[in-house]
């Protein structure tokens, strides 16, 4: 059994796959329905297209995201080196707006007293994008 004081590394791959499964199971990661389910007014919300490329988590599993920031910075737990200041911070194509990126690094303590190493990549987007051939306006978050 691992020593709780030594901490556990929750790898980015495991975190992303777990989060993706949770989001998909909750119906939050894919197009949401507008209007009452089952009624004739039900529509699928238009979905923006992801940027090409990104981080490959496993064969055939790509998250469409790059790590913008100072290339002299290597995140301590995952070992990921940031890609530079000219790296695309957005996760969707045909986007014109504002993007905010924050990386958090530290140790956290769970309610059972165990400690974990933590790295986050949190992004927020607000602006115009193209979906279904039309210009739309909206806000998004990537956690």
- Contact in structure between 116 and 104 (CB atoms under 8 Å): no
- Residue bearing the bigger pLDDT, 60 or 34: 60
Give the confidence band of 29 by pLDDT, cuts at 50, 70, 90: very low
Give the confidence band of 12 by pLDDT, cuts at 50, 70, 90: low
pLDDT at residue 97 in the model: 94
Cα–Cα distance measured from residue 85 to residue 60, given in angstroms and rounded to the nearest whole number:
28
**Residue boundaries of the structural domains of the chain:** 4-21+33-142
Q: What is the mean pLDDT of the chain?
A: 76
Cα–Cα distance measured from residue 22 to residue 117, given in angstroms and rounded to the nearest whole number:
21
- Contact in structure between 68 and 80 (CB atoms under 8 Å): no
């Amino acid at each position: 059994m691992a020593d709780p004081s030594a901490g556990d590394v929750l790898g980015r791959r495991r975190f992303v796959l777990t989060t993706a499964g949770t989001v998909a199971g909750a119906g939050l990661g894919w197009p949401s329905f507008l209007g009452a389910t089952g009624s004739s007014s039900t529509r699928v919300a238009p979905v923006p297209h992801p940027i090409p490329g990104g981080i490959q988590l496993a064969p055939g599993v790509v998250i469409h995201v790059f790590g913008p920031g100072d290339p002299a910075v290597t995140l301590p737990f995952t070992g990921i080196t940031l890609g530079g200041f000219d790296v695309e911070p957005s996760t969707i194509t045909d986007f014109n707006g504002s993007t905010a990126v924050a990386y958090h690094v530290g140790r956290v303590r769970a309610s059972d007293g165990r400690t974990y190493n933590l790295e986050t990549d949190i992004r927020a987007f607000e602006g115009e994008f193209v979906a279904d051939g039309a210009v739309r306006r909206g806000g998004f978050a990537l956690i």
